[in-house]
Structure 1
């Protein structure tokens, strides 16, 4: 669909010493639109997301919340033809899924592994690459699935950090990989307790963020024997739970 940015008439004020100037050229922002996930004619959730990779987002949301444990439990996923915008065009903002099995418990993660510092140091640069389609903008959240050597397997960007993670999870589910226990999740977002729960329940061995981590995130990671790395940059990182090889 390609509608990841949108321009508005914006007045930008700038100061240089005592001189103030204005610029009325168009300003670009990240597109944020609703996405409704329906099953059996009933709405399961209404998300606000950056359009694109919606089927990955849908599968990731279902998997991470324990509603499915494999792609085969979704017999079909399609945009609703009746979901139209103001001009009668399909808004692509409602997805109907047909589930063939009752909700099951999500797969828990395997025991944490000692990640190599060299693998961890590779994460920031690769997450930055994922944000390049949004280069006109100051910041979007990116998330990626990395192997234990630091190689990027899947990655997405979204205005919402959780959506970016769900898109990664959904992509892996759609590919039928189901090998999250062999991967760790990297993100640019600050990490709270709910994000630790989401990533761990999806089955990843650990979570690495370029941002900050909350006290509840640290406590949850330690209590559940889950690797958590924060403040990751090309020069340094901090291990809050689990360990990294020397």
Structure 2
């Protein structure tokens, strides 16, 4: 049987109180694996090739290639699959692949600005920039207001969290992962990704869409298992998603961002209710 790269077992003690007595049980628990992944980048500058470490993120192993691809897309390093010559695991001095280090080689014509390496990426830091600077950065990245997609039945949204929960295989066994999913206008689940990091889960999802040539995703619904933060909305806008729904609350900057880019944002999608924060025209 193949080893699951996303989980590992751990012997634990469970403490239970019944009345005045305390009991202890020895159990086997299943933990979500969290490991660092480094992404290195090889690019052309002034007619020469250069190489730098781009980012390190704590992630759940699995779908690493799509995680790297999605990160490059949503951070504005690449705009299309054509910008990426190769994406491979790095090797050590003995020629063995390193499981946690990946190298992205950009095409000669990729318009990559090495100055981007000097700032904190949105996915790894939610502080250090003001709201206006964040919006300006998206504008300079070339992100445009999302196009109108198909009208969505508001009642249909209420069915999506249950589908997401039913499809979260690793969360069901561990309770320790975030998830995001893509649905079509009929409420059919198209794809799902899980990770210990919310931004990683979305990068995995969007990296697969990029690899499959499915972008932009203007006719899709994105469902987030937790809250809607600025970095998640930023990533969804790069993919052209018109409707984002979150089980949890949106932040103020997430609402501002969705509003500015004509995106419909729904929050607190649970318990047979939800709030529409921006552009309700997509929901009938």
Alignment of 1:176 with 2:213, yes or no, is yes
Match of 2:101 among 85, 88, 94: 94
Query: What does the per-residue CA deviation read over 1:171-219, in whole Å, with 9 as the maximum and x for residues that have no partner?
Result: 0000012131222211102112222222112211121111121233223
Deviation at 1:229, TM superposition (A): 0.5
The aligned residue for residue 79 of structure 2 is: 69
- TM-score, scaled relative to structure 1: 0.89
The aligned residue for residue 44 of structure 1 is: 54
Alignment of 1:108 with 2:144, yes or no, is yes
Deviation at 1:106, TM superposition (A): 5.1
The aligned residue for residue 237 of structure 2 is: 200
CA RMSD of superposed structures (Å): 2.3
The aligned residue for residue 34 of structure 1 is: 36
Paired residues, what number?
243
Query: What does the per-residue CA deviation read over 1:96-155, in whole Å, with 9 as the maximum and x for residues that have no partner?
Result: 111101238454352355432143223212211331233221241111122222222221
Residue ranges of structure 1 left out of the alignment (5+ in a row): none
Deviates more, 1:128-137 or 1:171-180: 128-137
| Aligned counterparts, 1:106-145, within 5 A | 107-113=143-149, 114-145=151-182
Query: What does the per-residue CA deviation read over 1:8-48, in whole Å, with 9 as the maximum and x for residues that have no partner?
Result: 23222111222211123232211001111111232110011
Q: Is the 8 A contact 2:145 2:260 kept in 1?
A: no
Q: Is the 8 A contact 1:146 1:154 kept in 2?
A: yes
- TM-score, scaled relative to structure 2: 0.78
Change (3 A) 1:27 1:90: farther
Quote the Cα distance in structure 2 between the aligned partners of 1:10 and 1:90.
Answer: 33
Match of 2:246 among 205, 209, 218: 209
| Aligned counterparts, 1:73-84, within 5 A | 73-82=83-92
Quote the Cα distance in structure 2 between the aligned partners of 1:165 and 1:106.
Answer: 20
Change (3 A) 1:179 1:222: closer
Quote the Cα distance in structure 1 between the aligned partners of 2:89 and 2:166.
Answer: 29
Deviates more, 1:50-59 or 1:132-141: 132-141
Deviates more, 1:175-184 or 1:111-120: 111-120
Match of 1:148 among 159, 177, 185: 185
Q: Is the 8 A contact 2:6 2:61 kept in 1?
A: yes
Quote the Cα distance in structure 2 between the aligned partners of 1:102 and 1:159.
Answer: 32
The aligned residue for residue 225 of structure 1 is: 262
Quote the Cα distance in structure 1 between the aligned partners of 2:279 and 2:148.
Answer: 7
Deviates more, 1:10-19 or 1:59-68: 10-19
Q: Is the 8 A contact 1:130 1:142 kept in 2?
A: no
Q: Is the 8 A contact 1:68 1:106 kept in 2?
A: no
Residue ranges of structure 2 left out of the alignment (5+ in a row): 43-50, 114-140
